[in-house]
Amino acid sequence: NAGVTQTPKFQVLKTGQSMTLQCAQDMNHNSMYWYRQDPGMGLRLIYYSASEGTTDKGEVPNGYNVSRLNKREFSLRLESAAPSQTSVYFCASSVGSNYGYTFGSGTRLTVV
């Protein structure tokens, strides 16, 4: 009964380093999403994948890339991390439009 699993839960990077945040869902959902949340703010959409094989930009895509590896997995890559990317990153999935999202527990990323 895992739902949406994100790894890692915590990460500290140095400026300029790269890393990939992993997300997997076991609910056979079609759509997957990546959000970031800065302190005291709501969530902002980075990228989404409406279905396997497709990805689209959200509100704040600059500095990120994504891969929908298969129906289960949707990864977020930071090629050259910057302090402005310090945030909590949430992955979510849904059956499709106008259905509720299930969120993961988040990855807390600090870039120093």
Partner 1 sequence: DAKTTQPTSMDCAEGRAANLPCNHSTISGNEYVYWYRQIHSQGPQYIIHGLKNNETNEMASLIITEDRKSSTLILPHATLRDTAVYYCIAVGSQGNLIFGKGTKLSVKP
Residues that bind partner 1 (CB under 8 A): 4, 31, 33, 35, 40-45, 48, 50, 58-59, 88, 90, 92, 94, 96-106
Q: Min. distance of Cβ 61 from partner 1 in angstroms?
A: 13
Across 18-104, the runs of DSSP E, i.e. the strands, are 19-25, 31-37, 43-49, 56-57, 64-68, 74-78, 87-94, 102-103
Tokens of 86: 């310090």
If the CB atoms of residues 65 and 105 are measured against partner 1, the closer one turns out to be 105
Tokens of 110: 């600090």
Q: Min. distance of Cβ 79 from partner 1 in angstroms?
A: 24
Strand, coil or helix: 96:
coil
Nearest-angstrom CA–CA distance, 40 and 7: 23
Q: Min. distance of Cβ 30 from partner 1 in angstroms?
A: 10
